Amino acid sequence: YIQCFFFTSKLLISLMKTALTFLHGANQEESESFKTPGKNLTTALSEPTPGEVVSRLQAEILRKNRFVSAFGAETVESWGFDWNMLENSSVSFADSSRIAVMSQLYERLRKISRKRFDEEFSSLYTSFLTLRDRIFIVHEERLETVTERYFNKIFPGSNVECDAKVGGVQLGIKATVTLLSGERKKYHIKTHSEGRLSERSSAAKHVNPQELMIYKVLEYTGFGCESHFLQRNAEDVYIATLDASDDGNFNMFARASGHLGSGGDEVYGQSLWGNLQTIHSELIQNDWKSIETSIQSDAVTQNFVNQLSSLDMLTRILRLRDLLNNPENFGFVSKVGKYPILKVIDFRISDENVFHVNFEHFGGFLVGNGMYRYSDLHRAMRYVLHDRSQENRVRTALCVLTQTSLSKLHEHIDRAYQEIRGYILSTDVFADHISKLMEELDTYTQAVHHNVSFFTDKLQFWTPEDKLV
């Protein structure tokens, strides 16, 4: 194993040198179609783009005879790959067929690497891993280019510095934008939910306009961060959100509640949920009437209850998931002299593709669960969304829908719709997909308008006789 280690290390260094030599001069920006104009950069016409360089390197590494030599003709033929396509350097590395083969090859080679340590396989596997790294670097550099051009356009004279994103499966980066005034803004940029993944093996799909609209609805209701949309093409659409700490000190709820069995910061937590600190984890030991009375006497607790109830309503109306039951996807912004403000930093859209809610969904709200598994939450959240009496939860939900920022939810939805509609119609890369994108956007908009009216109506006319057990 030691000999194998030293051999592989030397081979990796040699291959990296070869790759770097092959890629020399390939750091010029690719010729791309951007709606947002950027700096004038002069690129020699004779020099290949980084994408073209990687496509050529891929064709060289994925030669059929290399795999036949390592695994035998019968095995390679059984894989069913289109080797003519793989060896054609004019086919882009971003072609969906090539992406699929890269994913399959990676899984095969990764498993084999646990058993084979011979020189021929090690050489093939190491060059393949080097190729995957180069492909990822090109995607990341493209994202950085789009990001710099976008923020230089909306903030003229600003300086944009990009850095690696920490965590998450989607391809993304962080960007610090320094304005002419000296003010610094931090943005988190990632692909849309069906875009490229950081694991480098999946082909991107067209952007879902419903996802873009949700970001705007959350922003306009105050529960989301400032959001921007950037693009290279219909698949490579990126979502940039302003850091949640831009106007205060943001902490994910996981800090207070704990996550995956780890304990939370109860002192910090009490600054969020106030008198709900007295709730015992063993439900039978709680005096629910006393707890409800304590809510009415503490403004911090009332703020916590109202904010969670508001986001619960938004979650059900917009058909979101992986939100309130994931303490790393939301948190609170704390600021001296103000009550904590709930902010969403990530979410997923329901997989059901049925966006209109009905009596079954209202029943899920009444029992305090539905598809959200609120019964598994931290005790303070569980009380607000699950253990609290149906009468009190109905009263609070109706209040937040009619007396807070959600009272203008129909207006927020229309505003978000118009913004995403304008983005689709005015962006060249969507020209061949307008019909499909607008159909998806219109369908979703009609559904969420219905959902607002449905929940408001059912809450207004609910009586204790309608209680569900």
- pLDDT, position 370: 66
Confidence grade of residue 202 (pLDDT, cut at 50, 70, 90): low
> Does the pLDDT of residue 310 top 60, yes or no?
yes
Give the residue-averaged pLDDT of 293-316.
96
Confidence grade of residue 299 (pLDDT, cut at 50, 70, 90): very high
Q: Encode 10-37: b = buried (16+ Cβ within 10 Å), e = exposed.
A: ebbeebeeebeeebeebeeebeeebbee
DSSP state of 236: -
In percent, the amount of the chain with pLDDT more than 70 equals 86
R_g (Cα) of the chain, nearest Å: 26
DSSP state of 262: P
DSSP annotation string for 333-402: EEETTEEEEEEE---EE-TT------HHHHHHHHTT-TTS-GGGS-HHHHIIIIIS-HHHHHHHHHHHHH
- pLDDT, position 168: 62
Task: Dump pLDDT digits (tens) for 128-141.
Answer: 999 999 988 888 89
Task: Dump pLDDT digits (tens) for 427-449.
Answer: 999 999 999 999 999 999 999 99
Confidence grade of residue 205 (pLDDT, cut at 50, 70, 90): confident
- pLDDT, position 27: 42
Confidence grade of residue 167 (pLDDT, cut at 50, 70, 90): low
Give the residue-averaged pLDDT of 236-256.
94
- pLDDT, position 283: 84
Structure tokens at 52: 């073209």
Alpha carbons 418 and 440: distance in angstroms, whole number: 14
Alpha carbons 49 and 404: distance in angstroms, whole number: 52
Confidence grade of residue 350 (pLDDT, cut at 50, 70, 90): confident
- pLDDT, position 61: 94
> Does the pLDDT of residue 204 top 90, yes or no?
no
> Does the pLDDT of residue 87 top 50, yes or no?
yes
Mean pLDDT of all residues in the chain? Answer: 86
pTM over 0.75? The answer is yes
Task: Dump pLDDT digits (tens) for 16-75.
Answer: 444 444 444 444 334 333 344 343 444 444 578 888 999 999 999 999 999 999 999 999
- pLDDT, position 356: 94
**Lowest-pLDDT choice from 107-121, 202-216, 260-274, 279-293:** 260-274
34 versus 80: the higher-pLDDT residue is 80
Task: Dump pLDDT digits (tens) for 365-416.
Answer: 999 876 788 888 889 999 999 999 999 999 999 999 999 999 999 999 999 9
Structure tokens at 42: 């002069």
In percent, the amount of the chain with pLDDT more than 90 equals 69
DSSP annotation string for 157-220: T-EEEEEEPPS-SB-EEEEEEE-TTS-EEEEEEEE-TTS-BTTS--------HHHHHHHHHHHH
> Does the pLDDT of residue 345 top 50, yes or no?
yes
Kindly list the distances between the CA atom of residue 24 and the CA atoms of 17, 133, 232, in Å, as whole numbers in the listed order: 10, 16, 24
> Does the pLDDT of residue 271 top 70, yes or no?
yes
Q: Hey, which of 184-198, 204-218, 227-241, 403-417 has the most confident mean pLDDT?
A: 403-417
Give the residue-averaged pLDDT of 276-294.
90
> Does the pLDDT of residue 282 top 70, yes or no?
yes
- pLDDT, position 105: 93
